[in-house]
Chains A and B, each alone.
Chain A
Amino acid sequence: MFPAELPLLPAPAMLTLALALFCVGACGVLLRRNAIIVFACIEMMMNSANLAFVTMADVWGQAEGRLFVFFIIIVAAAEAAVGLGIVIALHRLHGSVDLDRASLMRG
């Protein structure tokens, strides 16, 4: 599609971008109370991992790097289904998706 030997950003730049995306996602997970958005942030964190995998697959010339992205997408899909199922159950239990209200396991 594109010319084969086009200049690209160096791998560390892409890794740094992946890291930044990971941190943003992690902050969302830690700071938001809405379970749905927390899940969205988890998806973003996985996405950043995917980006790092693709980058390093090109650096090391190994197909497994990209293959893992494929598997991670599978796991992410399953996890999203389960996670959103949990959100529904949580909502049914508490009438809200506030994670702080799901504290039955408090010691």
Chain B
Amino acid sequence: MSGLSWLWLVPALPFVGFLLNGLLGRRLGRGMVRAVACGVMLAAALVTSFLVALPILGGNLGDPGEHGSVTVHDMNRDGVGDAAEIVLWQWIEAGAKQGQAPAGGGQFLSALSIPFGFHVDGLTVVMMLVITWIGFLIHVYASSYMWDDDGYWRFFAYLNLFVSMMLILVMGSSFVMMFVGWEGVGLCSYLLIGFYFKQEVPPTAGMKAFLVNRVGDFGFLLGMLLLMLTFGSLRYSELIPRVEAAGGYVGTNLALLTALLLFVGACGKSAQLPLHVWLPDAMAGPTPVSALIHAATMVTAGVYLVIRGNAIFQASPTASLVIAVVGVATALLAATIALVQNDLKKILAYSTVSQLGYMFLAVGTGAYVAGLFHLVTHAFFKALLFLGAGSVSHGLHGELDIRKMGGLKKVMPHTHRVMLVATLAIAGFPGLSGFFSKDEILASAVGSAFGPSVVWALWGAGILTAVLTSFYMFRLYFRTFSGEPRWSDGVHAHESPWLMLGPLYVLAFLSVVGGFLNLPHYITHTRFLEAVISPCLCHAGALLTEFHVPHGLLEAALVAAAVGAFALGLFLAWSWYAKGSETPQRLAERHSTIHGLLSGKWRIDEIYAALFVEPFRRLCDWASSFDRWVVDGLVELTGIGTTLAGEIFRHVSSGRVRTYALAVFIGAVGLTLWLMSGRGISQLLGYFTAAIG
């Protein structure tokens, strides 16, 4: 209990690291910067593990109610405390005070009160553990990988800030707090994608990521406002019970709109169709950034949002179906693009988009546990893949084109070993983490509450994606590590230092055993993740009550299909790439249209350019010419008028003294004549007569 009052330390520690490195980093020196950055991460990870995770995962939060600064909630209403909330200070307060009747009426209309506080439960703890521990490993890796970079301290300042913001995102006690972290990680993502700001591509990619995310954030904000209007609060501890208790809310258009708007936000952050275009470009950032932000943590924020707000999404099964369809479509589309890419990191980026699509398929079908499960295992093996890719490019002097690799098995034995593990894990080798999580997602798709045709369509697309995943991952593996070396001249490939390999081995271990977090029913019924996040789920929701876990023959068939998908992809990749077959070239030449479409990323960037960028640019051109011709024209007209007037009147100023004198005299005479005439003269006469008389 007392440990939870130190909860604020978890985001505060990386923030202190950010302040130290950001303000003093230039003077501290690389060793100190490394010590600060990795130290705060280790401290945050340890605080998370021992002060936060132990009481919550151990289930000994105590009875619901206030315990000092910590309030224990019973979100599940089973009489056992399952979530802790700690309010640091009242942040935004407006409207009537607590206890006063609202003037406008309405069921939940009350004072707006948003505290700056944290809400931790099983879901939060899982996210926090992933963020802090994987974050720590990636920090250690990056401290060696980035050693020669001039912006060493700047890099770690941003990275620490990112971790702090990501923790606020998952720990925040309300959607507003989540939005704070949401924008914070967006900012860090922008800064880190554009980290090599002296090159041409990275800053543009950063801006693209930021702009595309704005579209999503707009939806997120609108969804939050709708929730606020409907339920009067954005605090999870108030909002979620109100949503669950709202009888007439389920299935309404309002519920659909709210859920879809929130999902637009999730789409932006998690790179789902149609807002996925920024993530592949984000690979312009340093590789540890790709591993931490664009694979393991930030991009999963959308999945976290859906799981956190599962009560809201379950209130609208239509919205959930939309999520599932978008997710599986993204998965399939990204996988097809990944088939033909040649850039190591681009392949992994599309793979990430694809795997995120799996997660959305899961949460869309109501398999929130499976979604979180895949989130965690994906964080393990995708971080490992990115870090391994970083190790490869480190050893090849920055080379990322898989056509110029090959034969690295002998030169980089350690990197090869961990990359093989990661590839097996993501491709779904039975027994490894990716196999269990992906299998659970596909099984959940079959068991979901939608109609049979929808269910099998979702499963079919999912299993097809699994085949493609297995294929493109092994294509990457064979092209990189086996065969003859195809390196550029002058490249002396070498293995990376142990400071980089250490985290790789840890992640490889996690990729292997990650599946034990949530073993399938046919192995054991002690499912750790399910038990942990079960209190966060709305079990009365439409999706969960009608959820049927496949059993018996059907389950066995599904597992067999998953294994078959893995084997098929592996066999194709092995026969085409491991032995240097001509088949890929032949296929590409025969179906050049399809190949061009795939390597052109389905031309989505071009479509967006034509639909949005070009009209906007034309609008800008129009505004620019309006400014140039009308606004500037008015200004210049003033100038021309002044010049013309000067041209006319300058002749008056002849410089001849006597002309001026003449003007003065004419004026004086005119004045006198005016005085002499009419009223002037009578007045003057009046003076005279008065003086005389």
Contacts and interface: CB of A to CB of B under 8 A. Distances in A.
Do A and B have CB atoms closer than 8 angstroms in the complex? yes
B636 to A, nearest CB: 23
A60 B692 CA distance: 8
Interface stretch (B298-306, B445-453, B622-630, B656-664): B656-664
Contacts of A102: 655, 657
A60 B691 contact: yes
B654 A106 contact: yes
B644 to A, nearest CB: 14
Given A30-B665, A59-B691, A107 B650 contact: yes
B593 interface: no
A13 to B, nearest CB: 15
Interface string B629-661: 000000000000000001001111111111001
A100 interface: yes
A93 interface: no
Contacts of A60: 691
Nearest to A102: B657
Given A59-B691, A60-B691, A107-B650, A30 B655 contact: no
A8 interface: no
A30 B654 contact: no
Contact of A103 (B652, B654, B691, B692): B654
B665 to A, nearest CB: 6
A99 interface: yes
Interface string A17-30: 00000000010011
Interface residues of A, number: 15
A92 to B, nearest CB: 17
A63 interface: no
A60 B646 CA distance: 50
Contact of A107 (B654, B658, B662, B692): B654
Interface in A72-107: 99-100, 102-107
Given A59-B691, A60-B691, A29 B654 contact: no
Nearest to B662: A30
B655 A99 contact: no
Contacts of B654: 103, 106-107
Given A59-B691, A60-B691, A105 B655 contact: yes
Given A30-B665, A99-B657, A102-B657, A107 B691 contact: no
Contacts of B662: 30
Contacts of B649: 107
B651 to A, nearest CB: 7
Main secondary structure of the interface of B (DSSP, over half): helix
Nearest to B651: A107
A107 B652 contact: yes
A55 B652 CA distance: 39
A67 to B, nearest CB: 18
A107 B646 CA distance: 9
A8 B112 CA distance: 102
B661 A29 contact: yes
B501 to A, nearest CB: 84
Contact of B653 (A29, A99, A100, A105): A105
Choose among A29, A60, A104, A107 the residue with the greatest number of B CB atoms under 10 Å from its CB: A107
B657 A30 contact: no
B322 to A, nearest CB: 76
Among A38, A102, A104, A106, max chain B CB count under 10 A is at: A106
Interface in B650-687: 650-658, 661-662, 665
Contact of B656 (A26, A29, A59, A100): A100
A107 B656 contact: no
B653 A107 contact: yes
A16 B655 CA distance: 34
Nearest to B650: A107
B385 to A, nearest CB: 80
Contacts of B658: 29-30, 33, 38, 99-100
A100 B659 CA distance: 10
Interface string A46-85: 0000000000000110000000000000000000000000
A26 B653 contact: no
Contacts of B646: 107
29 contacts: A29-B658, A30-B658, A30-B661, A30-B662, A33-B658, A59-B691, A59-B692, A60-B691, A99-B656, A99-B657, A99-B658, A100-B656, A100-B658, A102-B655, A102-B657, A103-B654, A103-B656, A105-B653, A105-B655, A106-B653, A106-B654, A106-B656, A107-B646, A107-B649, A107-B651, A107-B652, A107-B653, A107-B654, A107-B655
Interface of A: 26, 29-30, 33, 38, 59-60, 99-100, 102-107
Given A29-B658, A99-B658, A106-B654, 15 more contacts: A29-B661, A38-B658, A59-B691, A60-B691, A99-B657, A100-B656, A103-B654, A103-B656, A104-B655, A106-B655, A106-B656, A107-B649, A107-B651, A107-B652, A107-B654
User: What 8 A-B pairs have minimum CB-CB distances, sorted nearest first?
Assistant: A106-B655, A103-B655, A107-B653, A107-B650, A105-B655, A99-B657, A103-B656, A30-B662
